[in-house]
């Protein structure tokens, strides 16, 4: 299988290390990943005023100590709030600030986070607009097929990926998805509409028939979240690249 643009292991939310004061999705974590020769995975969502910020959680508490949802906070507040535990006092960045920092030095694998329905097209549109003049490798991906479709409709001509997993456990992550919805996501029934270029797959889902079929057809597969050399070895028997954290892969 070909790796496509995924030549280097991908640092999950940057090369973070909370014990060392390097927080996920922070400027320091991204710089550390670049210096170590890795690609970067990060997360993107909209604030109340429509600014795309690099931030994983739907809620603010764990990473900032503030309360509430990212979608309900004004960008001027969030962007001045230090990430908890950051030795450098890093605050969340806008997507534009991240692009200015990276300057094409490594691949950015950017997850478009699931939004309220009325914010799906706005997130895709502003993300695509931000990279329209960016000189460097960027891939967008999402769990949400509608965001993949919206990014293509917004004019993105680069690599678009679907993120998937087994969708078998009942849990809060599924936000009320009905059994058929989870079945459709697990087996990638959205393919006629998404026409994704690659797959980003939970390490526990790499042997799903649909994942194996698309990889056999030449679609690159990245696997998350890999936390040891042993997990990396196992994943790479079914995937083309790893998205890792908590250890350093043997080679970039």
Select from 10, 89, 101 the least CA-distant residue to 54.
101
Task: State the total domains in the chain.
Answer: 1
Evaluate whether residue 2 is within a structural domain.
no
Task: Please state, in angstroms and rounded to a whole number, the distance separating the CA atoms of residues 128 and 234.
Answer: 34
Residues with Cβ within 8 Å of 192's Cβ and at least 6 positions away in sequence, in order, are: none
The answer to whether position 169 is within a domain reads yes
| CATH number, residue 96 | 3.20.20.190
| Domain-embedded: residue 5 | no
- Kindly report, residue by residue over 83-116, the tens digit of the pLDDT: 999 999 999 999 999 999 999 999 999 999 999 9
Nearest residue to 90 (alpha-carbon basis) of 26, 3, 154, 146: 26
Asked if residue 250 belongs to a domain, the reply is no
pLDDT of residue 250: 80
Give the model confidence (pLDDT) of 108-162 as tens digits: 999 999 999 999 999 999 999 999 999 999 999 999 999 999 999 999 999 999 9
Mean pLDDT, rounded, for 232-245: 98
- The answer to whether the CB of 81 falls within 8 A of the CB of 116 is no
Which range of residues forms the domain containing residue 139? 10-244
Return mean pLDDT, the chain: 96
Q: Tokens 């996501």, residue?
A: 185
Cβ atoms within 10 Å of 1's Cβ, excluding its own: 13
Nearest-angstrom CA–CA distance, 216 and 208:
12
What per-residue confidence (pLDDT) applies to 252?
47
Mean pLDDT of all residues in 226-237: 98
**Interatomic CA distance for residues 189 and 136, integer angstroms:** 31
pLDDT at 172: 54
pTM for this predicted structure: 0.96
Q: 152 in a domain, yes or no?
A: yes
């Amino acid at each position: 299988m070909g790796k496509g643009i995924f030549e280097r292991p991908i640092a999950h939310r940057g090369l973070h290390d909370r014990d060392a004061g390097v927080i996920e999705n922070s400027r320091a974590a991204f710089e550390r990943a670049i210096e170590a020769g890795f690609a970067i995975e990060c997360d993107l969502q909209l604030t109340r005023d429509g600014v795309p910020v690099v931030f994983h959680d739907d809620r603010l508490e764990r990473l900032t100590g503030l309360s509430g949802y990212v979608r309900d906070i004004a960008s001027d507040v969030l962007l001045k709030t230090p990430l908890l535990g950051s030795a450098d006092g890093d605050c969340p960045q806008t997507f534009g600030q991240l692009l200015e920092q990276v300057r094409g030095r490594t691949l950015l694998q950017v997850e478009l986070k699931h939004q309220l329905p009325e914010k799906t097209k706005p997130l895709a549109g502003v993300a695509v607009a931000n990279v329209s003049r960016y000189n460097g490798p960027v891939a967008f991906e999402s769990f949400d097929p509608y965001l993949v479709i919206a990014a293509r409709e917004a004019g993105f001509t680069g690599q678009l990926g679907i993120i998937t997993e087994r969708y078998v456990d009942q849990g809060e992550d599924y936000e009320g998805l009905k059994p058929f919805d989870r079945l459709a996501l697990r087996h990638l029934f959205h393919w006629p509409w998404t026409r994704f270029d690659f797959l980003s797959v939970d390490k526990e889902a790499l042997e799903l028939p649909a994942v194996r079929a698309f990889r056999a057809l030449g679609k690159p597969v990245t696997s998350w979240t890999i936390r040891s050399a042993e997990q990396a070895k196992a994943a790479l028997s079914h995937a083309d690249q790893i998205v890792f954290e908590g250890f350093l892969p043997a080679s970039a």
